Amino acid sequence: MKIGVPKEIKDDEYRVAATPAGVREMVERGHEVLIEATAGEGSAISDADFESQGARVVPSAADVFGEAEMIVKVKEPQAPEIEMLGPQHLLFAYLHLAPDPEQAQGLCASGATCIAYETVEDSRGRLPLLAPMSEIAGKIATQAGAFMLEKPFGGRGILLGGVPGVAAANVMVIGGGAVGTNAAFVAIGMGADVFVYDRSIDRLRELDTAFSGGCSTVYSTTLAIEEMLPRADLVIGAVLVHGARAPFVVSREQLALMRPGAVLVDVSIDQGGCFETSHPTTHRDPTFEVDGVTHYCVANMPGAVPITSTYALTNATLPYVIALADHGVREAIRRDPGLRPGVNVAGGEVTHPAVAEGVSVNCIPVEEAMGMSAERVSEIAEARNIRSIEKSAKRR
């Protein structure tokens, strides 16, 4: 199979979807790997590094999409990339479609089969391709929050760990999954007073054991959150519902309970955000203020540490990339049923229930969508061409 890796074009995104080691593994299994020129520069990987392991470096994204059968990316395709997708493509990337109906519509119109890293499951129902970026995002969340608490950046002017004779900051982590666990780990290490909220008693027990009682664990209810907000200096939102839009755990009204200069870090922003007042920001302009509370809502936090993130991501995704390339989507799903929930779009239809609910469309079973006839594929391609012609005419 021809596997294509384009350069990421999302704002402030420096990761790349493959490493030279990953290329070597793919090539040794008989696959051809196309890498867009300079795709790895942000992660300190040169074109020569890729070429030395058997990749073919091509000048542009158009060359990658034009030749490759499988497109492997990090972040969701941007509008110019969606325009280059067609029914012949298998797209493998983070998609986060539930809060993004426009992207979902574009991917459906392309006719491509689209597998989202964030909804692939392992045999225990965990999310193996989301986990490494969640770990990194959780650690960044605490680092960023500590920085934004400094007075010159609009914060309260409190040191996370305090000093002898002066109390440490209170850090509230809502969600005890991979993000929350790593956020709490760093906050505890910095000497903060940490409170982790979750709705699973079993998970709270696990965290209490893992941290040897180094943080307080709290069963998450609306009242419990409200009671903590007036005391919190830093609140980290780490809420996840597989594939779905994140629920709001802090409302606009509840911001009035917080102290001026407190900081909210919304790691759930890729799934729409778990604070009602959140909206996506970038690394270059990471914060905004609402009612005196600083919001940090960068939608690609791991992109700030691309060397760490790129290698961690490839370690996780490579076995799946190889399985899909070796066997194709249908056989790969048969061999590993955890890939089935990863299929978010196929045959012009949304195939994941939570995504379908998020974008307000009907969910079509994966098998039915992938059994689409050749005529249907041709219809999608023809409709796509008509839309492209219409857009070109309007621009002229």
Nearest Cα to Cα of residue 76 among 60, 59, 92, 99: 92
The yes-or-no answer on residue 242 being catalytic is: no
Residues in contact with 294: Cβ distance below 8 Å, sequence separation at least 6, in sequence order: 148, 153, 154, 155, 261, 262, 263, 264, 287, 288
Which segments of 167-254 does DSSP mark as H helices, in order?
178-189, 201-210, 222-228
Stated as kind and residue range, the H or E segment containing 66 is helix 61-67
Nearest Cα to Cα of residue 202 among 219, 216, 185, 215: 219
Distances, alpha carbon 198 to alpha carbons 152, 229, 252, 303, in Å: 33, 15, 21, 27
Catalytic residue among 193, 233, 266, 270, which?
270
Catalytic residue among 31, 89, 96, 352, which?
96
Phi, psi at 328, each rounded to 5°: 80, 165
Q: CB burial class (10 A; 0-12, 13-18, 19+) of residue 123?
A: exposed
Task: Please name every residue paired with 289 in a beta bridge, in sequence order, or none if there are none.
Answer: 294
The yes-or-no answer on residue 270 being catalytic is: yes
End-to-end alpha carbon distance in the chain: 38
Q: CB burial class (10 A; 0-12, 13-18, 19+) of residue 14?
A: buried
Place of tokens 């370690």: 315
Distances, alpha carbon 223 to alpha carbons 197, 219, 235, 364, in Å: 12, 10, 16, 38
- DSSP symbols for 259-312: PTT-EEEEGGGGGT-SBTT---B-SSS-EEEETTEEEE-BTTGGGGSHHHHHHH
Catalytic residue numbers, as ranges:
96, 270
